[in-house]
């Protein structure tokens, strides 16, 4: 009996074999080893990849706003308008980064699998950095590079954390929490150093090198990931093949029915609506073709079936999912029903992300107007660049997590208030509004003081407030999403969680279009929106009936 046949006989569902001349030329698991009690071999490659990729993303992001503002200024428009347009571009880019995971998840789950998806989109990611670096001074090059990076980063986001989970079996499941903690540490570690160093690279060697170095780190990340190919558990996509391709095509087009309204290059509303309508019609045609080949009972199938029944009068009043429940079964219909309940909570979180992500745009704009000179023992006197200031955020995150988790929450619980996930998030939402009260008051002082006379250290106050809110909202939101989602819908729910970041960034981009809005008024507008959203979120959280569906 050949080696390949022997291995197949022993573990038919666990290994993928590529035979050459009767012998296995490559071998990797497709299910985890449940007898393993130590860390899986592939984890080291994934963590190394994550550290390099995060340095790459945050490094590029640190200098992006100032670069885009400079490009617009070079076209001859006024500085204030150039800065507003830079805010629009940066937040539209971030919106794309957090919207595209919905399509990336489809590709990974339905067509290619997580490993292949991460590998191929990482190469697109690298190409985006190359374009940014090689087309210095070009608006077209900037747009092309950012589009490629958004595709790459968006494709990776929904896959990496799930790929980590795929490596663990029953024997070492207890270790997965430590790996996710290490992941979060690597994100903040990479963010701190890249945000601090990349502006220095720009000062020393110019924009081209400053964009090239994060690109080089992304290439290293891709190489490290590829090196672990035979150590990974590579979970296989379902259904794969032609059906999987049709799932990706229909899901992607239907998603772009809404996405095209924000990401179509044309500024004409008529063109945007035309592209949206075309995506909707073509997406439906492909979906129904797929259903005729083999009926699917996923989220899209249940939702479209229920919507069709509602529009044609087939559904029972008060039971939107009744027809889908009869066709696909109780379990399949329960998933989308739970997702819709969770989305009703997620919607208001978008306003929080609209505030939080401004530390890489409008807060940098404010820092350019401030005194950034420091005198410290052993370091002497030095001046920080405006785009280095956000490096304080990851440092504060690492400091505030233990203080809030092991200090503030237990203290509140000792007075008889249970700190449920939704209560933590409500507190964070309300606290976030005060960060923008702080920057608005600070901007008021800057506007009447001599230029460069207000020290940037005052920004530590809003940074401290928004980071405390981040710990309460962002980390807790992930826990809430995971606990409330049915097992077969967890990836879908995580995609919707990331979409809240997209919606928040679109809000900023839309408001920034009003270039004549003074920066102080811009900040007060978001302070008011955040307070209103926090109050509404608290009301929704009070009436939400929590369940725990952890797998």
Residue 157 has pLDDT above 90, yes or no: no
Residue-wise burial string across 408-438, b where 16 or more C-beta atoms lie within 10 A, e elsewhere: bbeeeeeeeeebebbbbbbbbbbbbbbbbbb
Beta-carbon contacts of residue 151 (< 8 Å; ≥ 6 apart):
100, 121, 124, 125, 128
In angstroms, the CA 335 to CA 547 distance is 13
- What is the tens place of the pLDDT at every residue in 379-438? 789 899 999 999 999 999 888 988 998 899 999 999 999 888 899 999 999 999 999 999
In angstroms, the CA 252 to CA 79 distance is 38
Task: Give residue 445's pLDDT band: very low, low, confident or very high (50, 70, 90).
Answer: very high
Does residue 66 come out as left (phi exceeding 0), alpha (psi in the -120 to 50 range) or beta? alpha
Let me know: does 115 contact 102? Beta carbons within 8 Å. Answer: no
- Statement to judge: residues 363 and 225 lie in one domain: no
- What is the tens place of the pLDDT at every residue in 329-349? 888 888 788 888 888 888 889
> Whole-model pTM?
0.83
Residue 281 has pLDDT above 70, yes or no: yes
Residue 518 has pLDDT above 80, yes or no: yes
- Statement to judge: residues 77 and 191 lie in one domain: yes
Domain boundary (190, 205, 238) is at: 238
Q: Which of 307, 294, 366, 374 is nearest to 336 (CA)?
A: 307
- Statement to judge: residues 129 and 201 lie in one domain: yes
- What is the tens place of the pLDDT at every residue in 169-184? 888 877 876 777 677 7
Residue 114 has pLDDT above 80, yes or no: yes
pLDDT of residue 24: 45
pLDDT of residue 331: 80
Let me know: does 362 contact 88? Beta carbons within 8 Å. Answer: no
Task: Give residue 124's pLDDT band: very low, low, confident or very high (50, 70, 90).
Answer: very high
In angstroms, the CA 334 to CA 489 distance is 10
Helix/strand/coil for 361 = coil
- Statement to judge: residues 348 and 426 lie in one domain: yes
- Statement to judge: residues 138 and 99 lie in one domain: yes
Reduce the secondary structure of 384-427 to three states and give it as a string. Answer: CCHHHHHHHHHHHHHHHHHHHHHHHHHHHHHCCCCCCHHHHHHH
Torsion angle of C-alpha atoms 404, 48, 160, 231, degrees rounded to 10: -130
- Statement to judge: residues 276 and 221 lie in one domain: no
3-state DSSP percent of the chain in helix, strand and coil, to 5: 75, 5, 20
- Statement to judge: residues 454 and 358 lie in one domain: yes
Task: Give residue 523's pLDDT band: very low, low, confident or very high (50, 70, 90).
Answer: very high
Domain of residue 189, residue span: 33-238
In angstroms, the CA 359 to CA 511 distance is 16
- Statement to judge: residues 390 and 510 lie in one domain: yes
Residue 49 has pLDDT above 60, yes or no: yes
pLDDT of residue 549: 54
Domain boundary (211, 238, 265) is at: 238
H-assigned helices in 228-329: 241-263, 269-293, 299-311, 322-328
Q: Half-sphere exposure of residue 141, counting CA atoms within 13 Å on the CB side?
A: 14
- Statement to judge: residues 345 and 311 lie in one domain: no
210-216: average pLDDT? 95
Domain count, the chain: 4
């Amino acid at each position: 009996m050949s080696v390949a046949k022997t291995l197949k006989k022993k573990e038919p569902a666990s290994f993928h074999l590529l035979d050459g001349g009767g012998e296995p030329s490559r071998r990797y698991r497709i299910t985890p080893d449940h007898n393993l009690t130590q860390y899986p071999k592939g984890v080291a490659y994934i963590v190394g990849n994550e550290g390099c990729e995060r340095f790459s993303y945050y490094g590029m992001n640190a200098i992006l706003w100032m670069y885009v503002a400079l490009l617009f200024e070079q076209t001859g428009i006024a500085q204030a308008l150039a800065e507003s347009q830079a805010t629009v571009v940066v937040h539209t880019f971030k919106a794309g980064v957090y919207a595209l995971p919905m399509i990336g998840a489809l590709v990974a789950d339905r067509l290619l699998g997580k490993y292949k998806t991460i590998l191929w989109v990482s190469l697109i990611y690298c190409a985006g950095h190359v374009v940014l670096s090689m087309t210095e001074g070009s608006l077209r090059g900037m747009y092309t590079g950012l589009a490629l990076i958004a595709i790459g980063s968006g494709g990776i986001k929904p896959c990496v954390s799930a790929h980590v989970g795929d490596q663990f079996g029953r024997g070492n499941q207890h270790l997965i929490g430590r790996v996710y903690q290490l992941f979060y540490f690597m994100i903040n570690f990479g963010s701190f150093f890249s945000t601090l160093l990349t502006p220095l690279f720009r000062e020393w060697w110019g924009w081209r090198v400053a964009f090239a170095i994060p690109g080089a780190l992304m290439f290293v990340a891709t190489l490290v990931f590829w090196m672990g190919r035979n150590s990974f558990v590579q979970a296989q996509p379902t259904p794969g093949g032609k059906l999987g391709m049709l799932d990706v095509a229909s899901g992607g087009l239907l998603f772009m029915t809404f996405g095209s309204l924000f990401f179509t290059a044309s500024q004409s509303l008529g063109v945007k609506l035309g592209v949206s309508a075309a995506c909707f019609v073509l997406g439906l045609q492909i979906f129904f073709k797929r259903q005729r080949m083999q009926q699917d009972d996923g989220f899209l199938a249940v939702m479209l079936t229920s919507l069709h029944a509602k529009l044609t009068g087939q559904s029972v009043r008060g039971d939107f999912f009744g027809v889908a429940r009869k066709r696909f079964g109780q379990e399949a219909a329960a998933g989308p029903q739970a997702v819709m309940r969770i989305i009703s909570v997620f919607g208001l979180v978008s306003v929080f992300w609209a505030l939080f992500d401004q530390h890489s745009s409008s807060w940098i704009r404010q820092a350019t107007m401030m005194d950034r000179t420091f005198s410290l023992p052993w370091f002497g006197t030095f001046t920080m660049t405006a785009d280095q200031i956000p490096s304080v955020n990851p440092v504060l995150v690492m400091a505030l997590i233990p203080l809030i988790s092991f200090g503030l929450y237990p203290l509140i619980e000792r007075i008889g208030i249970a700190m449920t996930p939704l209560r933590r998030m409500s507190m964070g939402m309300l606290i976030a509004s005060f960060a923008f009260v702080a920057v608005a008051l600070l901007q008021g002082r800057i506007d009447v003081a001599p230029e460069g006379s207000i020290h940037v250290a005052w920004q530590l106050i809003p940074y401290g407030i928004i980071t405390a809110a981040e710990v309460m909202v962002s980390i807790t939101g992930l826990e809430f999403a995971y606990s409330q989602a049915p097992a077969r819908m967890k990836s879908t729910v995580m995609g919707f969680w990331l979409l809240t970041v997209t919606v928040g960034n679109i809000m900023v981009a839309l408001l920034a279009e009003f270039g004549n809005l003074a920066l102080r008024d811009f900040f007060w507008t978001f302070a008011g929106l955040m307070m209103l959203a926090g109050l509404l979120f608290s009301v929704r959280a009070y009436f939400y009936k929590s369940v725990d569906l952890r797998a």
